[in-house]
Amino acid sequence: MTLFIFYFLLPQTEYHIDEKMKNNVLKNVCGAWKGFKTKLVSGWITKTREHPKNHKEPYEFYDGVTKTQWETFKKYCETEEFKVCFLCFHN
């Protein structure tokens, strides 16, 4: 699930990271990515969190999210796979 969401929401970019720092960088990136996905799902999909009132959709608020990416993400969140994963982690 994470790779699917990651592929559609982030631009395809390559980073060169020193091997000594790689583990720490990846931990930080993963934590930030998980927090961002949580904000998207709880703010706009499940609506359990308030999102900025002056923005109707995340692509109007977050520069890194396009309308096409958001529509793909929303469609994925309507699948049984997503709902099962969501229930497993939130019950």
Q: pLDDT per position in the chain (91 positions), as tens?
A: 444 445 455 556 676 778 888 888 888 888 888 888 888 888 888 888 887 777 788 998 888 889 999 999 899 888 888 888 776 666 5
Return the pLDDT at 71. Answer: 93
Identify the pLDDT of residue 67: 94
* Token output for 37: 């996905």
The pLDDT value given to residue 70: 92
**Cβ distance 69 to 8 under 8 Å?**
yes
CA distances from 47 to 10, 52, 74 (A): 22, 12, 13
pTM passes above 0.75: no
In terms of residues, how long is the chain?
A: 91
As a whole number of angstroms, the distance between CA 66 and CA 57 comes to: 10
The structure tokens 């720490």 sit at 24
Per-residue model confidence (pLDDT) at position 4: 45
Q: What pLDDT does 21 receive?
A: 86
